Chains A and B, each alone.
Chain A
Amino acid sequence: MAQTIVNGINIGALYGLVAVGLSLTFGVMKILNIAHGEFLMLGGYFAFWLFKLIGVDPFLGLPLVAVILFLLGAFFYKILLAGVARLREEIKLKNSLLIGFGLFLIFPQIVKALWSADERAISPVYSGGSFPVLSVRVAYVPFAGVLVALGVILLLHLFLSKTYFGKSVRGTSENWKAAKLMGINVDRTYLITFAVGIALAGMAGVLVGLTQSITPNIGMSWTLKALIVVVLAGIGSIGGAFFAGLILGVVEAVGAIFMGPYTVALGLVIFLLILMFRPQGLFGKG
């Protein structure tokens, strides 16, 4: 059981990292990026090729992947979503979903054409190793993944609570009109927030490549996982998204013992239950 929980934490940290990126974009800009998982997939592929072709250790390459995905996110925001962000709430949500679905249809095909549909896994030399802690075996790579996820989220939290720009992001998410009246460039704030969310997805993708495998089609299932976690945590709670990810990871791992191949349904059942009985989420701000 203890080993199961450890495994659950390992994957839960990934869930949390992906969810935080989605929570950022959805909470701040009220745009639901259905293509969030596609950028995770791209991040995984970039790390894979950096490792395979140039020999860059995936963990060391994380900052580079983050930067690449940040720029990619900024680029796509600029050309696709910037106009949408100014629209009224309902139209904005529908249009952003359409755009997201468009990317979800296109990205996997492009990647398949470029790099084939073969499964890719990033396996540096230390991949298989593990160390014992009490009665449990902790594998190096997933453990490092948990540390990375934790570290990144901590940095994000410091950024949002201690820096001027971070505070302006929080303010903008609450009242964009008031933010404009304070001289905050709301368009630029949205751009950077979106790009950061995408960068987080990309980093999660690297960790997925290290602990599981990457194919062109993994995007949507990760988007859905992220969505479940965001709803579980509550919209607007960025730190809570990470904890909710851990919770989901552990619940799934434990549930898998009893449910076997139907474990996937567990997340969706939780999703439904939360929406029915506690729609503001565990940590949400109503």
Chain B
Amino acid sequence: MLEVKDIDVYHGDLQALWKVSLQVGKGELVSLIGANGAGKTTIVESVSALLTPVSGCIEFNGVRIDREPTHKVVRLGICLVPEGKGIFPGLSVLENLELGAFIPESRRVRQKTFEFVYLLFPILQSRRKQTAGTLSGGEQQMLAIGRALMSTPKLLMFDEPSLGLAPLVVKNIFKVIQQIRESGVSILLVEQNVRMALGIAQRAYVIENGHIGIEGDAKSLLDDEKIRKAYLGAS
């Protein structure tokens, strides 16, 4: 479904990614783990066309997307829940969700999508008139995920959804991520919480200093000695 082929990406004059390749298949949940600054956010921002690779290409269902503007990528079915939520704090919860369904394809079916989102996050329905900036951190994350779902994506990418959230909230969010996958949406999950990220994924990639290091089946990576030493603090 998603094919990232050998991309080099720069932030200004600094190279951030070197020949990065990864794939996400239909119906898969793929995790991307790595240390801070390794390049995880750069990858998902490149897929979402917030950044443009200098070389290599990105394809989605056979269509090349790395030279397209972000709004076209969204219309093709890729949505990103960015680090730092990416909501509109001055607008109401309902308005945030409505804008999530901005593209024509999603706007048409938004009533149905609203039902799905309210099912996953009942609190968004009860707080729908509230100004988004007054929600708690966990509720804002739910809103961010909810508005991403409003765009009826085929591939949903998460950038550190657990950041700054209480453990109980994180558990709930990961449960929801799995529910989303079960509804037929493919998922690319960027996470610092390695244990949870590898726990729910089929496959995973490890990125180190802008290069893809190890990749493979998530369960075996969880047992891998090097991973355990570097990311899970085991000896």
The answer on A and B forming one complex is yes
Which of A's residues lie within 8 Å of B, judged by CB?
Answer: 164, 167-168, 170-171, 174-175, 177-187, 285
Segment at the A interface, from B58-66, B79-87, B160-168, B216-224: B79-87
A180-B71, A183-B71, A183-B75 are known contacts. Are A171 and B99 too (CB-CB below 8 A)? Answer: yes
B87 touches A178 (CB 8 A): yes
Given contacts A164-B107, A171-B91, 15 further A-B contacts (CB under 8 A): A167-B95, A167-B99, A170-B91, A171-B88, A171-B99, A177-B82, A178-B87, A179-B88, A179-B99, A181-B70, A182-B74, A183-B75, A183-B151, A184-B71, A187-B69
A285 and B86 contact, CB distance less than 8 A: no
A171 and B102 CA atoms in complex are apart in Å by: 11
Interface residues of B in 88-129 (CB under 8 A from A): 88-91, 95-96, 98-100, 102-103, 106-107
Contact in complex: B82, A178 (CB < 8 Å): yes
Please state if B86 and A167 are interface contacts (CB–CB under 8 Å).
Answer: no
Instruction: Tell whether A175 pairs with B50 under 8 Å between CB atoms, given A180-B71, A183-B74.
Output: no
Q: Which residues from A are CB-within-8-Å of B100?
A: 182
Interface presence of B48 (CB below 8 A): yes
**18 A/B residue pairs, CB under 8 Å, sorted by A:** A164-B102, A167-B95, A167-B99, A170-B91, A171-B91, A175-B88, A175-B89, A178-B82, A179-B99, A180-B71, A181-B50, A181-B82, A182-B100, A182-B151, A183-B74, A186-B71, A187-B69, A285-B90
Q: B203 an interface residue at 8 Å Cβ cutoff?
A: no
Which residues in B have their C-beta under 8 angstroms from that of A182? Answer: 74, 99-100, 102-103, 147, 151
Chain A min CB distance to B106 (Å): 8
Interface size on B, residues (CB 8 A): 29
Which residues of B lie under 8 Å from residue A181 when comparing CB positions?
48, 50, 70, 74, 79-80, 82, 86, 148
Residues in chain B near residue A178, CB distance under 8 A? 82, 85-88
Given known contacts A175-B88, A178-B86, A285-B90, is B98 in contact with A185 (CB within 8 Å)?
no
How far apart are B193's CB and chain A's nearest CB, in angstroms? 22
Query: Which residue from chain A places its CB closest to the CB of B80 in the assembled complex?
Result: A181
- Measured between beta carbons, the chain B residues less than 8 angstroms from A170 are 88, 90-91, 95
- Which of A170, A179, A180, A183 lies at the interface centre, i.e. has the most chain B CB atoms within 10 A of its CB? A183
- Contact residues in B for A184 (Cβ distance below 8 Å): 71, 99, 102
Q: How far is the CA of A175 from the CA of B50 in the complex (A)?
A: 13
Task: Find the A residue at minimum CB distance from B107.
Answer: A164
Give the chain A neighbours of B89 by CB distance below 8 A. Answer: 174-175
Interface contact A177-B102, CB-CB below 8 Å = no
- Chain B residues with Cβ below 8 Å from A187 are 69
Q: Give Cα A185 to B151, complex, Å.
A: 14
Q: How far apart sit A175 and B79, CA to CA, in the bound complex (Å)?
A: 16
Task: Show the binding face of B for A, using Cβ within 8 Å.
Answer: 48, 50, 69-71, 74-75, 79-80, 82, 85-91, 95-96, 98-100, 102-103, 106-107, 147-148, 151
Alpha-carbon distance A167/B151, docked complex (angstroms):
16
Which residues does chain A contribute within 8 Å of B95, judged by CB atoms? 167, 170-171
Chain A residues near B103 (CB-CB < 8 A): 182-183
- With the chains together, A174 CA to B48 CA distance in Å? 20
Docked pose: A168 CA to B99 CA in angstroms: 7
Q: Nearest chain B CB to A239's CB is how many angstroms away?
A: 13
B86 → chain A closest CB, angstroms: 4
Among A170, A182, A185, the most chain B Cβ lie within 10 Å of the Cβ of A182
Contact residue among A168, A174, A177, A179 (Cβ-Cβ distance under 8 Å from B90): A174
Q: Sort A-B residue pairs by CB-CB distance and give the 6 closest, nearest first.
A: A183-B74, A178-B86, A183-B103, A180-B70, A171-B88, A174-B88
Query: Complex formed: what's the CA distance from A164 to B110 in Å?
Result: 13
Instruction: Give the chain A neighbours of B50 by CB distance below 8 A.
Output: 177, 180-181
Q: How far is the CA of A285 from the CA of B148 in the complex (A)?
A: 26
Q: How far is the CA of A170 from the CA of B90 in the complex (A)?
A: 9
What separation, in Å, do the CA atoms of A178 and B50 have in the docked complex? 10
User: B residues within 8 A CB of A180?
Assistant: 50, 70-71
Question: In the complex the two chains form, is B88's CB within 8 Å of A185's CB?
Answer: no
Report Cα–Cα, A178/B79, bound state, in Å. 11
Chain A residue nearest in CB terms to B85 = A178
> How close is B144's CB to chain A, nearest CB, in angstroms?
8
CA distance A178 to B106 in the complex (A): 17
* Residue of chain B at shortest CB distance from A178: B86
Distance between B40 CB and nearest chain A CB, rounded to angstroms: 16
Given contacts A174-B88, A177-B50, A185-B71, contact A167 B98 (CB under 8 A): yes
Residues in B whose Cβ lies below 8 Å from that of A175: 86-89
Q: Which residues of B contact A185 (CB under 8 A)?
A: 69, 71
Residues from chain A with a CB closer than 8 A to the CB of B48 are 181
